[in-house]
Amino acid sequence: MVAKQNNIATPPQIKYYPCAVSQGTIDLERLADIISSRSSLSVSDCYGVLMAMTGVIGETLAQGGYG
């Protein structure tokens, strides 16, 4: 959480906002393994979906969003 003060409010208020913090990396193979262990899908199926999703995310961002 990150504290930010609003000086415009009277009296000044401090609000707390969530903040993403990196604690390392994880590869697609490990993600596929985790997803597979929590579903009825195989590791290969999960890996294929993750690979397709990375492509779709890239294409969508390149187009400026979708919808």
1 in a domain, yes or no?
no
- Asked if 14 contacts 3 with a C-beta cutoff of 8 angstroms, the reply is yes
In a domain, 8, yes or no: no
Is the pLDDT assigned to residue 48 strictly greater than 80?
yes
Q: How far apart are CA 58 and CA 34, in angstroms?
A: 23
Long-range CB pairs of 11-17 (<8 Å, 24+ gap) are none
Q: Which residue has the higher pLDDT, 56 or 12?
A: 56
Alpha-helical runs (H) found in 1-67: 28-37, 43-62
Show the tokens assigned to 33.
């393994």
* The model's pTM: 0.65
Is residue 5 domain-resident?
Answer: no
66 in any annotated domain: yes
Q: How confident is the model at residue 66 (pLDDT cuts 50, 70, 90)?
A: low
Mean pLDDT estimate for the chain: 90
pLDDT digits (tens, 9 = 90+) for 6-38: 777 778 788 888 988 899 999 999 999 999 999
